[in-house]
Amino acid sequence: MSMSDRIRCMYQEAHERSHDADILAQSLGTRSDSQAIIRILAFEVLLKCALLIAGQKPRNSHNYKNLWLGLPGYVRKEILQVASEHMPGRADLSQVEKLLGWYQFIFEKARYHYELYENYTLDEQYKLGEYWIELGVPINEAVVQYHPRELQCLIAGVSAYVEKSF
């Protein structure tokens, strides 16, 4: 497969996954974080696609920070410019590397909640949840932090960069 075809296939796959994540996000019947995990996977594919366009060989890794840092600085700047314009005032992109760490954690560790909480009994899990509610549900103390707006903005930014190569 030519590099151009590979890039187009990766882009198409990422957007199909994003589309499916959108459908799940709009459903009132969902009972899991599947839409977030699918959207993170779409972001990963786009990020690897951007690396190919920039002349880099993406590694088989879910270390989004390292993948991000593999992009040339001007590419990261361009992606962040578009990303920041996607939802102005509604998404905080000031700590991209921290966000990428969260997305990696979600994809590698939090996609199976039974593994994430394997050292807790069901009763302890329940009490932990109740305690978190008593604290007022502080987002910054959540075990898993999704940052969905920021992810959508980053997807928009990487997509715009990739689309320029067509």
Supply the pTM of this predicted model. Answer: 0.93
**Contact predicate 157/46, CB 8 Å:** no
Predicted pLDDT at 15 = 97
The vertex-153 CA angle with 149 and 159, nearest 5°, equals 145
DSSP 142: -
Q: What is the model's pLDDT at position 103?
A: 98
User: What's residue 149's pLDDT?
Assistant: 96
Residue 7's pLDDT is 96
Tokens, residue 47: 């990020």
Nearest-angstrom CA–CA distance, 129 and 126: 5
- pLDDT number for residue 113: 86
Domains annotated on the chain, with CATH: 3-163 (1.20.120)
The pLDDT tens digits along the chain (166 residues) read 898 999 999 999 999 999 999 999 999 899 999 999 999 999 999 999 999 999 998 989 999 999 999 999 999 999 999 999 999 999 999 999 999 999 999 999 999 888 999 999 999 999 999 998 999 999 888 899 999 999 999 999 999 999 999 9
Residues 56/73, Cβ–Cβ less than 8 Å: no
C-beta neighbour count of 125 within 10 angstroms: 14
Task: Burial-class residue 114 by CB neighbours within 10 Å (0-12, 13-18, 19+).
Answer: exposed
What is the per-residue pLDDT for 156? 98
Are the beta carbons of 141 and 135 closer than 8 angstroms? yes
Identify the CA nearest to 149 among candidates 71, 92, 74, 108.
92
